[in-house]
Amino acid sequence: MILVYMELNFKHSEKKLNFNLPKKQTMDFFIAIIILTLFVILFNKVTQLKKQLDYQDAKIKHLQEQLNAQETKPDPKPIVQKPEVVEEKITPQPEPISYQKETIQKSDLEELIEKTQSHPQPDESNFDKNLHNAIAFIKDNFLTIFGIVTLVLGIGYFVKYAIDQNWINETFRVMIGLVLGLGIIGTAHKIRKNFDIFSSILIGGGLTVLYFTLTIAFREYHLFSQNITFILLTIVTVFSIVMAMLYNRQVVAIFSIIGGFTAPLMISTGESNFVFLFGYLVILNLSMLYMSWRKNWQVISFIAFSFTFIYSIAWISHSKSNVQFLFFALLYIIFTITSFINYLKKEEFSVWNCLLFIFNTILSTILISAVYYFKVGDHNGLIAFIFGLMTALGALYIYKSSKQALLQNTFIGLSISLITTAIGLEFEANVVSVCFAIESTLLLFLWKKSHQNIFKIFFIALFPFFFIALSINWFDYIDSNNRLPIIINPVFSTSFIALVCSIANIYLMKDFETEEQFLGFKLTHSKFIFVSTSLLLMYTGILFELIYQIEPYFNFMLMISYVLIYTLFFIAFILALRKKFNLGNTLQLLLQISAGFCVLLLPLFAEIPSLTYRENFSISSYFIYITYLFPTAYIIYLLVKNKDFKNSKVLQIVTMFILVYVISFEKYNAFMLITLDEASANFTHQADIFRMILLPIIWAVLGFGMIYFGLKNQLKGFPIVGIILFGLIILKLYLVDVWEMSNVFRIVSFIVLGILILLTSFMYQKLRKLMFNLMEKPNPNKEAEH
C-alpha cells in the first residue's frame, strides 16, 4: 500500500544510495521517528487502560450479581417482646425493603421483555444477523481500522519523502515493503491473545502490504519474473489461509481470499492463458471449499463466487477451447457443494445457502450456454433445459427426503424457471414474455405460500425483465410487415397472457398489508409499486392493440377520443374489483383523478359537432362515443357513495363540477346533431343559439337543483357550485350575450333567467329559514325525558 501510493504520485530515482544528509533533514527524520514511536506507545497504553476498565466493569457486575443473590434470601423475623403492641403495628404494614425489591425486579423484567420484543432473536434471519454483526464489527473497530490506515499513510509519506531525497533505491524500497508487511504480521501474532480483533485487522494490513509490494516489484521494477512473482504471491496466499485456519479468524480469511483472487491481475501481462488461470481458480476455490467445510464462513464463499464469475465473464469470449466446458462445470460443482455444506452437516439450509445455489445455477447456465452458442450457434435453450431437468430431479429427491420448505420451494421454482426459459429461448420474444409472466406469478405464489423472502427477492428481480420482454414484444406492432388480424395475433395473445398473470399477481398481493421491512422500504410501498406496474402492463397491452386496429379507419382526434373512452372503461373495471384486489386508498385516488382528466379531455378531442360539420360523420361513431357515460356515471356514483363525501366540501365541488361539465357538453352535442341540416349550413347559427340561450338555462336548472338538494341534505359544497353557476350566468348575460342577441332572444333570456333566479332565491331563503328553525326548536322527546 505504501509503495502503491508512492509510485502513483512520484517517479522513482535511479541514483545510488546517499546517506550524507544535511543536518536539518536528519533532525527532521529522527523527530518523525520519535513522534511515530510515541504514538504507538500511547496507543498501546490506551488500549491496556481500556482493557483494565473493561475488567473492572465486569468485576463490578459480578459483585453486583452476588449482592442481588444475597438479597433474595428471606429476612429473619423480628424479635417481639410485647406481642399485643407490636402485632398491632407490624401486621398491616408490609416491609418496605421487600416492596422496593419487588419493584426493582418488576422493572428489570419489563426492561428485559422490551428488549426481547424489540430484538426478537429467534425469528431473525441469518442474513439480518450477519448484516448486524458486520455493522457492529465496523462500529466497534472503527478507530482501529482508521488508525491502521492513518499509520500506513504516515509511513507512505515518509517513504515518499525518502524517495524524493534519493535515500533509497528500487531494491531497498521492496525490502522496506516486505519488512513492514512481515513486521505488522509479527506484531499481530505477538498480541493475538490479548487483542484478538485488533490483531486480525493488523494481519490483514500486513498481507495487503506484502501483496502490493510483490506486485510493484514485478510490474514497475522488474525485479522478479512472472513465474517467480506468482509463486511468491501463492506462498503469501497459502500462508494467510493457514494463519486464518490456525487463529480461527474470518477477517484474515477474507484478506487471504481477496489477495488470492487478485494475484493474477497483479502479474498480468496481457497474454491469455485460460488453462493456467482457471486451473489456479479451481485450486483456490477448493481451498475456499475446505474453509467453508471446516469453519462455515459463508462470506468467504460469496467473495470467491463473485471473483470467479467475474473472471469467467471476462474470459468467455477470449478462449475457443473446449476446456471451457470442463472448467465451468467444475466451478458449478464446487459452488453447489459449498451451498449444501450446512445441509449435509446439520440439515440446515439458510437464505445465504439458497442465494448461493440460485446464483450459481443461473450464472453457470448463462456461461455454459454462451460457450455452447459460440461453438454451435443453434438450440440456445438446450443448456438451460439440461440444468432445469437436473434441478427438477433434485427437486423430486428433496421433496421425498427432506422437510425443508425453503429447500423444496427453491428447487421447484428454479427448475420451472429454467425449463420455461429454455422454451422461451427456443422461440420468439413473445414466448419469452409469456415465460416471464408465468414465472412472476409462480414466484409470487411460492412467496405467499412459504413466506420466504428469497422468492420475494427473485420476484422483484424478475419483474423488470418481464416488463422489458413485454415491451420488446409490443415493438412487433411497428416492425410487422403484414397486417396483423384483430385480437388473434401473437402480440396481443402475449399481452393477454401477461394481463391474466398480472391479475393473478394483484390478487396474490392483496393480503400484504403488514409493515415488513425489506431493502429499506415497507412491504405496503412495494405492493403499491407492483400493483401499479401490473395495472400499467394490463392497460398498455390492450391499448396498443386498440390503436393498431383503429388507426387506418379514424382520424387522430377521434382515435384519441376512443383511447380516452377505453381508459375510462379500464379504470371503472379496476375500481369495480377494488375490494377483490384490496386496492389501497392512494391507488384508488390516482385512478379517480386519471378518470377525471379523461372526462375533461374527451369532449375537447372528440369535437362531435365539428366532425359532423367537416366530415361524413357516422351516427354509429357517436353512439360509440357516448358509451363513456356509463363508466363516468359509475365513477361518480363511487365518489358520492364514499364515506367522506358528505363531510368533504372539496370532493362535493369537484364531483358537481364534473357533472355540470359532462351535461353541458353532451347537451351541446345532442342539440347540434339534431338541429343541423344535411348540408350543415346552419352550424354557426345553431351554435350561437345554444351558447346564448340554452346553455344559461341548463346552468340555471342545474344550479337550482344543486342549491335545493344541498340545503335539504346539508351538503355544503352543492350550494356553492349552484351559486357559482348563477354568478357565471349573470356575468355571461350582461357582459357577452346581451350585446349579441336579437331583441326576441334577449327578451326571452331575461324573462326565463329572471324567473329562475327569483325562484332560486325564494327557495334558498325558505330552506335556510326552515333549517334555522329546526336547529333552534327543542326536541320534545328530550323534554319529556327530563
Q: What is the DSSP letter of 79?
A: P
Q: Cell numbers 425486579 correspond to what residue?
A: 105
Q: From 146, 229, 174, select the one nearest 4 (Cα to Cα).
A: 174
The range of the structural domain enclosing residue 535 comes to 428-553
Q: Cell numbers 383511447 correspond to what residue?
A: 563
CA 512 vs. chain centroid, Å, equals 16
Residues 449 and 565 in one domain: no
CA 291 vs. chain centroid, Å, equals 34
Q: What local confidence, expressed as pLDDT, does residue 594 receive?
A: 92
Angle at 369 between CA 367 and CA 371, to 5 degrees: 70
Residues 558 and 548 in one domain: no
| Single-letter amino acid, residue 369 | S
Structural domain ending residue among the three candidates 238, 271, 304: 271
Residues 549 and 581 in one domain: no
Residues 513 and 611 in one domain: no
Which residue stretches of the chain have pLDDT < 70?
1-54, 69-163, 270-272, 317-321, 377-380, 424, 427-429, 453, 457, 461, 480-481, 511-526, 612-617, 677-682, 733-734, 737-750, 752-786
pLDDT digits 0-9 by tens, 403-424: 777 787 788 878 877 887 787 6
Q: What local confidence, expressed as pLDDT, does residue 570 receive?
A: 94
Residues 451 and 539 in one domain: yes
Residue 576 is assigned to a structural domain of this protein: yes
Residue 563 is assigned to a structural domain of this protein: yes
Structural domain ending residue among the three candidates 504, 538, 553: 553
Q: How far apart are CA 498 and CA 432, in angstroms?
A: 11
**What's phi and psi for 582, nearest 5 deg?**
55, 50
Torsion of CA 47, 49, 53, 58, to 10 degrees: 60
Residue 728 is assigned to a structural domain of this protein: no
Q: How far apart are CA 18 and CA 49, in angstroms?
A: 43
- Residues 6 or more apart whose Cβ sits within 8 Å of residue 543: 563, 566
* Cell numbers found for residue 89: 403495628
- Residues 6 or more apart whose Cβ sits within 8 Å of residue 228: none
Residue 490 is assigned to a structural domain of this protein: yes
SS3 content of the chain, % helix, strand, coil (to 5): 80, 0, 20
Q: Cell numbers 509490494 correspond to what residue?
A: 213
Asked whether the beta carbons of 214 and 229 are under 8 A apart, the reply is yes
Q: How far apart are CA 659 and CA 702, in angstroms?
A: 10
Helix ranges (H only) for 75-125 are 83-90, 96-118
Residues 629 and 601 in one domain: yes
Residues 544 and 558 in one domain: no
Helix, strand, or coil (residue 553):
coil
Stretch (H or E) spanning 518: strand 517-518
Q: What local confidence, expressed as pLDDT, does residue 782 receive?
A: 44
Stretch (H or E) spanning 451: none
Q: What local confidence, expressed as pLDDT, does residue 532 receive?
A: 87
Residue 16 is assigned to a structural domain of this protein: no
pLDDT digits 0-9 by tens, 683-730: 777 777 787 778 888 888 888 888 888 877 778 788 888 888 878 877
Residues 463 and 572 in one domain: no
Residues 542 and 581 in one domain: no
Residue 55 is assigned to a structural domain of this protein: no
Instruction: Estimate the crossing angle of helix 429-450 against helix 405-426, to 10 degrees.
Output: 170
Residues 475 and 581 in one domain: no
Residue 264 is assigned to a structural domain of this protein: yes
Residues 547 and 559 in one domain: no
Total domains present in the chain: 3
Structural domain ending residue among the three candidates 210, 243, 271: 271
Q: From 291, 283, 284, select the one nearest 250 (Cα to Cα).
A: 291
Q: What local confidence, expressed as pLDDT, does residue 773 receive?
A: 55
Residue 403 is assigned to a structural domain of this protein: no
Q: How far apart are CA 359 and CA 306, in angstroms?
A: 10
pLDDT digits 0-9 by tens, 89-129: 444 444 444 444 344 444 444 443 444 444 444 344 555 56
Q: What local confidence, expressed as pLDDT, does residue 3 receive?
A: 36
Strands 517-518 and 521-522: antiparallel
Residues 549 and 559 in one domain: no
